[in-house]
Amino acid sequence: MKLLVVGSVAYDAIETPFGKTDKILGGAGTYVSISSAYAKADVQLVSVVGGDFEQKYLDLLQNHHVDIKGIQVKADGKTFFWSGRYHNNMNSRDTLVTELNVLGEFNPIVPDEYKDTEFLMLGNLSPDVQRKVIEQMNKKPKLIVMDTMNFWMDTMLDELKKTISMVDVISINDEEARQLSGEYSLLKAAKAIFKMGPSTVIIKKGEHGALLFQNDEVFFAPAMLLEEVFDPTGAGDTFAGGFAGYLAGSGDISFDNMKRAVVYGSAMASFCVEKFGTEGLVNLSQADIDKRMNDLTKLFKLN
């Protein structure tokens, strides 16, 4: 089935203890859409870039089966640019530069042929932009998944809550779940977030895995155990994209299938963190993904 993704397409400059990059391809929409396309969802990306955005990156998205008809190119603007430096433990980072550029006045336009898409994934973006996408759909999609972050909780909490009330699934990290709910216990936090609207809550714990909550059910998927984490940029987006893509690719939104989707998202995120930027995520074969899913599933399988 089809998956409509909205999210940023960006240039990133990243420093980790292992090295640094010049401006490379980044953005939540990029990670989400590449990751979800591997799960055989027909991915349609709505985003915006500037005149400085290189054709090779548009080609890269297309080569990864992402429909880019919905990417607006603002010839006289510059692409969103983010730069960050990770600390030694890779669990925290400093933002060095944020230049919103064309993302600052982004008015998402959903092409007519996308307006009946069954699955909608709202990548991390301003909550009013996310809501504008929902409002352009002809009817409520079968499933709306949203990702967000603490920045929107700090600056636009009322807007954010309005968007949260319109979605089926929310994906946030543990600290964000605590901030949004005011509860320290993640079990209590998920229950508090149910009351805001979503029937399913995903709490990402980075290297410690992810929790999936729905009604009284909880499922936990660990992160893949890796010898080296090279660059965590995009891991959360890749996870959310893998999750949404798995559901759209299979067309099955049962809780049992959501469990498998969380494991799939975790597997895709493990590729992401092994290299700089999108490098770990591009040109994966089905065999690579099958092997990683197998290794990850084995990690928590009791006989």
Q: Could you say whether residue 28 binds its own copies (CB under 8 A)? A: no
- Best CA proximity match to 248, nearest among 9, 7, 35: 35
* Distance in angstroms (rounded) separating the CA atoms of residues 238 and 284: 14
208: CB partners within 8 A, 6+ apart: 222, 223
* Helix runs in 70-227, H state only: 127-136, 150-155, 157-164, 174-181, 186-194
Q: Does 293 participate in binding its own copies (rule CB under 8 A)?
A: no
Q: How far is the CB of 230 from its own copies (least distance, A)?
A: 11
Interface with its own copies by CB under 8 A: which range of 101-109, 141-149, 163-171, 255-263? 255-263
Nearer to its own copies by Cβ, of 31 and 243: the residue is 243
CA-based R_g, the chain, Å: 18
Contact flag: residue 219 with its own copies (CB under 8 A): yes
Q: Rounded CA gap, 219 and 212, in Å?
A: 5
184 lies in the site for its own copies, by CB under 8 A? yes
DSSP E strands, 75-142: 81-86, 93-99, 119-122
Among 37, 41, 229, 269, binds its own copies (CB under 8 A): 229
Q: Give the range of 78-86, 156-164, 215-223, 241-249 binding its own copies by CB under 8 A.
A: 215-223
Q: Residue 95: beta bridge partners? A: 84
Cβ atoms of residues 232 and 280 within 8 Å: no
Q: Does 205 bind its own copies (CB under 8 A)?
A: yes
CA contacts within 13 A on the Cβ side of 40: 9
Pick from 104, 226, 251, 283 the residue near its own copies by CB under 8 A.
226
Residue closer to its own copies, measured from CB, 110 or 189: 189
299 is a site residue for its own copies (CB under 8 A): yes
- Closest approach of its own copies to the CB of residue 284, in Å: 21
Site of tokens 């590449």 = 34
In the complex, minimum distance from the CB of residue 280 to its own copies, in angstroms, rounded to a whole number? 16
Of 189, 187, 148, whose CA–CA distance to 169 is shortest?
A: 148
Q: CB of 241 within 8 A of CB of 267? A: no
For its own copies, the binding residue among 153, 220, 253, 282 (CB under 8 A) is 220
Q: Does 187 bind its own copies (CB under 8 A)?
A: yes
Residue 175 beta carbon to its own copies: minimum distance, rounded to whole angstroms = 11
> Which residues of the shown chain bind its own copies in the complex (CB under 8 A)?
89, 184-188, 205, 208-209, 211, 218-222, 225-229, 256, 259-260, 263, 297, 299-303
